[in-house]
């Protein structure tokens, strides 16, 4: 049986805030959008959910096809056709960088990706498309680093986003990052240090699993502890490259970006959310279910309304979880 | 720096030969095509390379985005812009089935996918697009089961395809399939037999690694040893489901589809190829480099021209190897 | 609570049949024996169970200590003290070779290990210790290659052994060996061929997992398809070293040693066993549960009495399964 | 060629200090000793090296046989015969506990294993065997938790031990333990908490890899942060069992046992060592090479003489490294 299909459109956007970014990543980028079935023929206005991709990804990847695990456009078509979700627009920005991602925040080492989304893309979409252009009808969601981005942007911009759904996002940095320090140290050493590693990484047509783990640590350092005076990727590492010993002065800068640590500063923002949905797999490879539980415990202690689901799976290939979040988001944003 | 981008188009095609196929898979399917930069504005005719996706895939997946491992459209744009490849059209058919694939052949258990490509899609594309509509300008390529499909279609249809490039394709069935019989037997047993397995497989939002291995064996049986009188998936298995003992009468039907076994029947077809390119990773998870070497040895013994490359990698995430095959194909098909 | 402890004794035995063996392995070897509690002070005669170790092992290893998985002497002490097993002697021969094992058969490439056990060690033990020196009171047992050895010696020497217990033994060679041919071919290639591999293997203080897999294939070839005219390890391989293609003339020599294939020749021997106990883990890494089932099915078809247990585990670290076999053996041999 | 063999003797020792230990582990235990070739016939006195086994082990395990990786007695025979090592006695104590080990320290949750070795076993051996009974001729060595034990006993008892060799010992607890907290939390949860886990652990004839990881964390807590008022295993855990959040008050008790943290208190002891040998594999599964480097850096900074070797291997099956340490120890202790 055929179901009505929405439309995927690509918008090329020239960013001012990304222009001249430190690593020289492109400031002209594609924004992909999903417009629900009927958009073309009607004049209705729709809520917008901003979908943030995970580390090593960009918005377009959320549309990737797989017959047994559909892309987000096909998924929305099915959810809408079945009555589970209400029609809404999806906006899928590209915040990729030379080392795999930006965590959707501003960093001297990477660029102003928070500003890019908040100051440039959101207004652009509201101007160009028939959106319900207010925080009550604008949400943000994502998985992994995209889940982190959803949380951090939601916490910092309640005036922009009125609903938030995050899957398996970075939290409780003690667990989700530290365990990769040892492997990263080893990987750097094998390639003659960070510089040699970066060179070899770039030259490789295929990124090895261990290399992705190592570049992830660099990307987090570039996002959380940038240092423009350091050599590329212009950041401080929170550990000694030879002995692994923690450098607490750097690590404490990282912690300033752990949503769990800074929750109290942003509790009001979360309290205002029409939807605050979190989930995590019980066997998350980065042990993110621990952070999720700690965060949920903290929310409960503060009386902040939320929904939390823990599911029987790990961190990878869990886009089917959006069958939970997208309907909830669509209903929250429709109100 | 911006490079000229080709266009991706989607054609919905209603198949006669797939209509009423045994498992009830769709006969209305999307064909994706890549049209090279300049196609829209010119009147030139182009060669066509048919790109066959691997098991669990369909043509559209070849377009999937990944910033560090680009989809086939971005890849072609880059190859053309850099002068490595000549402009050509790519046609990316969907031969997916309820159990993950068809091996691009006709089977009573799955449908007539060979006829679908050869009798329906090739003429359709030649009629609808500005192609150079002859075997000399029509090629076929793919990886894994798509590599198998390229080889089997090339061998059986030299009147249709004049050039062939295959990556890590199924060959020397003794190695590439037998080692998965034991694991498949175990997987079936855990789910209460083949029927229970199929039920559980369909119900699962995410397909486990071991389940993909087991459904692969079913798909191969449906392709190579179909039996319309058997229960779904309508095929005979070449082994006893309890003891694993080989059932040679069924296994010999499989071997009739091993390109290595039937090479002599199709030697003339391969001899006529303007390009016969093969490659394989030295650490292929299915030990396909052994089959590749055996095939190449047989080609050499028969004086059939070919190119063979063995590379330092395995079976997965090797789309970068198309940087080798697509340029060669484009040059062969341009002549 | 203290339980009575048996005694472990070591006998140095000079073998005539191993003298001058092709690879030059020692012909003076240690035989370890377990004498049950009370042996020293009494004059009673005891049954003897011959315990065969697995590939890469020798009898002494069965005594190895592990607080959470006791060696065979401690295990017997406990079984006897608890009343589960009756006192018996255990004899633990050393049939190790330069490439890890002998399969307990005679081979021109390795030595006459079948004769060593049957013609030399059995009489030696019966002469030196207070045994019940008849087949009715002499059993054989073992795991993996030791399980194979138990089966093959039991089948071929019903006049020597009257009871047989085997755990996870080599069977249905199609499954248990073929899947390691591909990996072995790769390993040999990396070391510049079989000769280079053997050299590097010997030089390495620690044997890598993949190297054990490769030497295992060489050892099986040396046992099943010896060829004194071939270079070390003096055997023919059943596959082409470059392409993996099967060499059926060699493979058929292997099959002549598959207990499943030769069952009919030895059915009477098995029929005479006072105990024929088999077991296998359901997730055996070598898929030996398939061979076990096939063998048991064949026993059933021939009306040969036996006991079969399938347990929830794999191939490794399953010495706890002797808590099943040793009591049964001790009772069968006591009758 | 035959080489002279030393003798292995077993001494049953009744301990006063272990009597009535909290978990009820045996206080009558076997001490295994290796006496060098010639001991029996001569009247010479020998140095003694105390060999501490790793977690889940006891002294006797160091004697375990493996044809391709000999036990410590065979190894010493070979080293002495080849002239690499001088004759010395090895004493191999059993400090195993109900949860796998004691770290060779006193703990209210486990027992007084430090006192057991220092106050009871050392005098016992000096009295019963022909030893050179002074710290100059008494050394300690071990691997993993046995390496930790060597270091901690050496640091705390320079009056007892005059030379120290440790392989891959626990160090820099931040790395070597923390990464197992997440997995342990998961394992406990699956078994209904710590108590349920312990029950299921004890009942299982075979300890799964993940269970060993979890019991290891319990054993470290029992050693470093015992709490007699807590339920079995009578200790405080340094993390929240639900959210994983660190409990710094407990963690700081652990750190009081990290040799790196307490180095300054024991610098003089290390300075007095006739041999201070450390090594670690570059790919240690517990990232112990980081701790080794940090420790060596700290030794260097304090001008404490030592030898350090980093080798190309991991943490497991590295007993061949004793071919480095045993000769050095034997020479240092002979002086």
Tell me, what's the pLDDT at C14? 98
Q: Which residues of B touch C172 (CB under 8 A)?
A: 243-245
Q: Do chains B and C touch (3 or more CB pairs under 8 A)?
A: yes
Per cent of chain B over pLDDT 90 is 99
Which of the residues in chain D have pLDDT under 50?
none
Closest Cα in chain D, distance from residue A101 (Å): 25
- CA-CA distance, B52 to B58, in Å (whole number)? 8
Angle at the Cα of B119 (from B118 to B121), degrees rounded to 5?
A: 70
Q: In this structure, are residues B281 and B313 in contact, taking their beta carbons and an 8 Å threshold?
A: yes
Beta strands in chain A (DSSP E): 7-14, 28-35, 48-52, 89-92, 106-107, 111-112, 138-143, 163-167, 275-281, 307-311
Q: Which residues of C touch D73 (CB under 8 A)?
A: none
**From the CB of residue B169, how many other CB atoms can be counted at a distance below 10 Å?**
27
Closest Cα in chain A, distance from residue B59 (Å): 10
The answer to whether the bond into C101 is cis (omega within 30° of 0) is no
Residue of B96, B100, B320 with shortest CB distance to A206: B320
Closest Cα in chain A, distance from residue D159 (Å): 31
Tell me, what's the pLDDT at D126? 98
- CA-CA distance, A79 to A49, in Å (whole number)? 15
Sign of CA dihedral B97, B98, B103, B109: negative
Tell me, what's the pLDDT at D185? 98
Nearest by Cα to C187 from D101, B287, B72: B287
User: Quick one: which H or E segment has residue C29?
Assistant: strand C28-35
Tell me, what's the pLDDT at B2? 80
Beta strands in chain B (DSSP E): 7-14, 28-35, 48-52, 89-92, 106-107, 111-112, 138-143, 163-167, 275-281, 307-311
Q: What is the largest CA-CA distance in chain D?
A: 63
Give me the mean pLDDT over the C61-84 stretch.
Answer: 97
CA D252 → CA C12, D173, D216, D221, distances in Å? 56, 11, 18, 12
- CA-CA distance, B147 to D234, in Å (whole number)? 61
Tell me, what's the pLDDT at D274? 98
Q: In this structure, are residues B220 and B231 in contact, taking their beta carbons and an 8 Å threshold?
A: no
Nearest by Cα to A281 from A320, A329, A255: A320
- CA-CA distance, C164 to C274, in Å (whole number)? 8
Q: Which residue of D has its CA nearest to C316?
A: D206
* Residue C48, SS3 per DSSP: strand
Task: Please determine, for residue C243, whether its predicted confidence score (pLDDT) is greater than 80.
Answer: yes
Q: Which two tokens stand for residue C5?
A: 């402890």
Buried b / exposed e over B109-124, threshold 16 CB at 10 Å, is bbbbbbbbbbebbbee
Q: What is the pLDDT of residues C200-238, one digit of tens each?
A: 999 999 999 999 999 999 999 999 999 999 999 999 999
Chain A to chain D Cβ contacts (< 8 Å): 64
Give me the mean pLDDT over the A189-216 stretch.
Answer: 97
Residue of D28, D65, D205 with shortest CB distance to C60: D65
Is there a contact between A178 and D182 if contact means CB atoms under 8 Å apart? no
Q: How confident is the model at residue A39 (pLDDT cuts 50, 70, 90)?
A: very high
Tell me, what's the pLDDT at A109? 98
Closest Cα in chain B, distance from residue C260 (Å): 11
* Residue A11, SS3 per DSSP: strand
- CA-CA distance, B226 to B239, in Å (whole number)? 14
| CA distance between the termini of chain A | 31
Closest Cα in chain C, distance from residue D246 (Å): 31
Task: Please determine, for residue C107, whether its predicted confidence score (pLDDT) is greater than 70.
Answer: yes
Is there a contact between A290 and D182 if contact means CB atoms under 8 Å apart? yes
Is there a contact between C64 and D67 if contact means CB atoms under 8 Å apart? no
Give me the mean pLDDT over the B117-137 stretch.
Answer: 98
Closest Cα in chain D, distance from residue C64 (Å): 5
Task: Please determine, for residue C1, whether its predicted confidence score (pLDDT) is greater than 90.
Answer: no
A138: CB partners within 8 A, 6+ apart: A47, A48, A49, A50, A122, A131, A132, A160, A161, A162, A163, A333
Tell me, what's the pLDDT at A2? 81
**From the CB of residue A311, how many other CB atoms can be counted at a distance below 10 Å?**
18
| Structure letter (DSSP) for residue B64 | -
Sheet with A7-14, strands from edge to edge, namely: A7-14, A28-35, A89-92, A48-52, A138-143, A163-167, A275-281, A307-311
Q: What is the pLDDT of residues A25-38, one digit of tens each?
A: 999 999 999 999 99
Q: In this structure, are residues B187 and B201 in contact, taking their beta carbons and an 8 Å threshold?
A: no
- CA-CA distance, C138 to C208, in Å (whole number)? 37
Q: Which residue of D has its CA nearest to A298?
A: D243
Is there a contact between B282 and C186 if contact means CB atoms under 8 Å apart? yes
Strands A28-35 and A48-52: unpaired
Task: Please determine, for residue B259, whether its predicted confidence score (pLDDT) is greater than 80.
Answer: yes
Q: Is the ipTM beyond the 0.85 threshold? A: yes
- CA-CA distance, C230 to A304, in Å (whole number)? 78
Chain C to chain D Cβ contacts (< 8 Å): 57
Task: Please determine, for residue A1, whether its predicted confidence score (pLDDT) is greater than 80.
Answer: no
Angle at the Cα of B37 (from B31 to B38), degrees rounded to 5?
A: 110
Q: Which two tokens stand for residue A152?
A: 């951090």
Residue of A64, A68, A320 with shortest CB distance to B65: A64
* Residue C49, SS3 per DSSP: strand
Q: Which residues of D touch A244 (CB under 8 A)?
A: 172, 174-175, 287, 290-291, 293-294
Is there a contact between A242 and D178 if contact means CB atoms under 8 Å apart? no
Is there a contact between A242 and D293 if contact means CB atoms under 8 Å apart? yes
- CA-CA distance, A173 to A175, in Å (whole number)? 5
Mutation for testing the B interface, residue in A1, A61, A67, A323 having most B CBs under 10 Å: A67
Q: Which residue of D has its CA nearest to A292?
A: D243
Q: How confident is the model at residue C239 (pLDDT cuts 50, 70, 90)?
A: very high
Closest Cα in chain A, distance from residue D182 (Å): 6
Q: Which residues of A touch D291 (CB under 8 A)?
A: 243-244
Q: What is the pLDDT of residues B1-43, one digit of tens each?
A: 589 999 999 999 999 999 999 999 999 999 999 999 999 999 9
Per cent of chain C over pLDDT 90 is 99
Tell me, what's the pLDDT at C2? 81
Q: Which two tokens stand for residue A100?
A: 């795999």
């Amino acid at each position: 049986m055929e179901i009505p299909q929405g439309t995927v459109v690509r918008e090329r956007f020239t960013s001012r805030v990304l222009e001249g970014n430190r690593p020289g990543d492109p400031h002209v980028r594609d924004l992909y959008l999903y417009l629900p079935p009927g958009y073309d023929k009607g004049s209705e206005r729709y809520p917008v959910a901003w979908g943030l991709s995970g580390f090593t990804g960009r918005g377009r990847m959320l549309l990737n096809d797989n017959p047994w695990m559909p892309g987000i456009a096909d998924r929305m078509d099915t959810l809408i056709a079945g009555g589970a979700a209400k029609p809404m627009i999806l906006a899928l920005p590209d915040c990729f960088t030379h080392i795999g991602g930006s965590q959707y925040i501003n960093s001297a080492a990477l660029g102003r990706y928070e500003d890019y989304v908040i100051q440039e893309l959101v207004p652009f979409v509201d101007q160009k498309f028939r959106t319900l252009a207010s925080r009550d009808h604008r949400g943000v969601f994502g998985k992994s680093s995209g889940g982190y981005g959803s949380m951090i942007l939601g916490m910092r911009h309640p005036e922009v986003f009125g609903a938030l759904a995050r899957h398996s996002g970075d939290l409780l940095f003690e667990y989700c990052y530290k365990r990769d320090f040892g492997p990263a140290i080893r990987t750097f050493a094998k390639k003659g240090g960070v510089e040699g590693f970066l060179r070899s990484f770039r030259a490789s047509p295929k990124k090895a699993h261990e290399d992705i783990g190592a570049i992830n640590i660099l990307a987090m350092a570039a996002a959380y502890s940038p240092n423009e005076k350091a050599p590329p990727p212009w950041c401080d590492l929170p550990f000694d490259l030879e002995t692994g010993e923690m450098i607490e002065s750097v690590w404490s800068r990282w912690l300033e970006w752990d949503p769990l640590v800074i929750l109290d500063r942003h509790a009001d923002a979360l309290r205002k959310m029409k939807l605050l949905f979190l989930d995590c797999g019980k066997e998350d490879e980065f042990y993110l279910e621990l952070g999720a539980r700690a965060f949920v415990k903290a929310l409960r202690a503060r009386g902040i309304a939320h929904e939390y689901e823990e599911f029987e799976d790990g961190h990878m290939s869990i886009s089917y979880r959006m069958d939970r979040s997208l309907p909830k988001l669509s209903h929250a944003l429709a109100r």
